[in-house]
Amino acid sequence: MSPAEADEDRLRRDAVAAVRRLDALGLNRGSTGNLSLRCPRDAVDGMLITPTGMGGEGLRAADLVWVGDDGAVDGAWQPSSEWPFHRAVYRARPDLAAVVHTHSENAAALSCLERGLPPFHYMVAVAGGDSVPCTPYHLFGSDALSQAVAAAMRERDACLLAHHGLVAAGRTLAQAMKIAVEVESLCAVYLKLLPLGEPPRLDAAQMAAVIDKFRGYGRARRR
Ligand SMILES: [Zn+2]
């Protein structure tokens, strides 16, 4: 196995483990979620993405589908029908290497109100700003949805898709997973508050201080 093949093999195994974790956490409802990892081959940018309609239980590393930036597909299965917006995120954000998408219950519920998360809790800054936006509704797999996701993800590491679910991305798969889990949890808390009225919001300076502190947190620190 060449070094490049070994790298891709590791990405495939990481992806399978992440899908199983989404299942275990209850975020991958009925195999509706999907995830991808940036995976260039030679000089061609591309990604490994979960196949369409396949949940964590039967998923094997070999089932991941490679999709090139030009749309070329290499694999035994069809890639997730939502691969176009994964590509749109990688094109919009060269710094990102993993995209996680779920129809998890709380994110989907809030998205059906066509609302994102305001700065009601400091952890909203996990997505890199003082809100998690909600993009307008567009048909899954459509160019319009890809454009809307790319526009939102240029400013944030996560967004909600109206009447659909959530997208989270990271420089690593672990980071994308962490953001997806956190946004789902924040959506649960926000939905719990809404019947009591719109909660008070942290102000711009308070959120800026959190974002600033998170910048230092992401890096490993030697003592
Ligand atoms: Zn979806």
Backbone angles phi and psi of 78, in degrees to 5: -75, 135
C-alpha 11 – ligand 1 centre gap (Å): 22
> Looking at residues 210-220, what average pLDDT do you find?
78
CA of 140 to the centre of ligand 1 (A): 7
Confidence bin at 101 (pLDDT 50/70/90) = very high
Q: Quote the ligand 1 centre to 220 CA distance (angstroms).
A: 33
Which amino acid is present at 124?
A: V
Q: How far is the CA of 49 from the centre of ligand 1 (A)?
A: 13
Q: What is the pLDDT of residue 222?
A: 65
**What is the rounded average pLDDT for all residues in the chain?**
93
Q: At residue 156, does pLDDT exceed 80?
A: yes
- CA dihedral sign of residues 103, 22, 180, 9: negative
Over residues 163-199, the pLDDT tens digits come to 999 999 999 999 999 999 999 999 999 999 999 999 9
Q: What is the pTM of this model?
A: 0.94
Domains of the chain from N-terminus onward: 3-217 (3.40.225.10)
Catalytic residue among 8, 82, 182, 184: 82
85 neighbors 159 (Cβ within 8 angstroms): no
How is residue 96 annotated by DSSP? -
The reply to whether 82 belongs to the active site is: yes
Strands 165-170 and 158-161, how do they pair?
A: antiparallel
Calculate how far, in angstroms, residue 161's C-alpha sits from the geometric centre of ligand 1. 8
